[in-house]
Amino acid sequence: MKQISILLLAAIVVFLSSCGNQPKPEEVISSELEAYRQQVRDLNKKIEEKTKELEAITSGQDNRMRVPVNLQQMEAVTFNHFFEASGTVMPVNEAYISPEVNGQVSEIFVNEGDRVKKGQLLMRLNTDITDKTIQEVKTSLALATDVYNRQKRLWDQKIGSEIQFLEAKNNKASLENRLATLQAQLEMSEITAPIDGIIEKVNLKKGELAVPGMQVIQLVNLSELYVRADISENYLPYLKKGDEVSLTFPSYPGYLKKLKISRIGNVVNINNRTFEIELELENTREELKPNMVGVIKINDFTAENSIVAPSKVIKEDLNGHYLYVAVQEGNDLVARKRYIQIGRTYDDQTRVTEGLKFGDKVIVDGFNRVSDGSLLKLS
């Protein structure tokens, strides 16, 4: 208002000068006095408004609209960023058992779900032909042994020909080798457990034919497992063997274990640009099962002394990202728009790299109802 009055006075002076009429001194002084009186009236009006405003505030009768908000003061925190990967549970010890020889299943000694020990007999194949052949060979071997002993005694006495002695010796050795082969075949007709574990599947029934390469029994040990996951090659610089990660299972909401990476693959899969990681996992209670899906949470970024704001309060316009902070201006708490630079976001929290300082109060509730300059009240 002061500036308007001065400009008005200057305009009058210029106008009079342009007209070639010099103003009288009393007219100039009167104009100046009027301008000063107007300034006084304007100041008195402002003083009166502020006085009423102060009285309304102190008496609790302020009728100006104030937006109820909640504030969060910015403090130094450690910001951690994680990414998640799906992994599959695998048994350390598992066996898909198949026979070494052809044969008809004659006996099955286990059922699905049975616990067995290493070396325990699981299944036997029909050995009738092998048994008869062994008896025949044993009979022939007994005769061959007797002939050999007779020929040897004669040969020791320099009686008989050397060829007869060698033929007897060779016949005896040949039958012994054949008997050993048949006995080995007999042993191979008995299928035993290669590890301790639980019978998961029995794929044949008594009387069915088993052949080499055919899986007849699946045996699994649940006490030792590992989790294997495929990780994008983009994370290679951030992972190393021994890093601690978190493991959870959707099937067990309360399950959480901190484990260390036991192996990192040395080859990137050309088809999906991933590499493997493995986590060793004890399963003494056997609650976890092979092929279950696990979720691995891996920390790939940490920044100490960071300013972190809720992601929901950060908005964006043509000028960039912004949020609202509460600023004390005189007796009023006022919302002010603040442009910021942001970093990574995790778990609905965003790291603010520029635009905020420690101690700033960010509006976290009611931010959608305010604009720059809005009056605030704490809810």
Write out pLDDT tens, residues 6-38.
555 555 555 545 544 556 677 778 888 888 888
Q: What is the pTM of this model?
A: 0.64
Yes or no: say if 206 and 103 are a contact pair by the CB < 8 Å rule.
no
Q: How far apart are CA 105 and CA 118, in angstroms?
A: 21
The predicted structure's pLDDT at residue 59: 57
Q: How far apart are CA 332 and CA 20, in angstroms?
A: 53
CB half-sphere exposure, 216, CA atoms < 13 A:
32
The residue to which tokens 């191979």 are assigned: 188
- The gap from C-alpha 31 to its chain's centroid, in whole angstroms, comes to 80
Which alpha helices (H) appear in the chain, and where do they start and end? Answer: 2-18, 25-59, 128-156, 162-188
326 CB-contact burial (10 Å; exposed 0-12 / middle 13-18 / buried 19+): buried
Q: How far apart are CA 80 and CA 300, in angstroms?
A: 8
The predicted structure's pLDDT at residue 126: 83
Q: Which residues of the chain have pLDDT under 70?
A: 1-24, 52-63
DSSP-assigned letter for residue 366: S
Closest CA to 147 of 163, 167, 168: 168
The shares of helix, strand and coil residues in the chain, as percent rounded to the nearest 5, are 30, 40, 25
Q: How far apart are CA 290 and CA 222, in angstroms?
A: 8
Q: What is the pLDDT of residues 36-84, one digit of tens each?
A: 888 888 888 888 777 766 665 565 555 678 899 999 999 999 999 999 9
The token pair at 274 is 């991933």
Q: How far apart are CA 98 and CA 351, in angstroms?
A: 58
Q: How far apart are CA 317 and CA 221, in angstroms?
A: 58
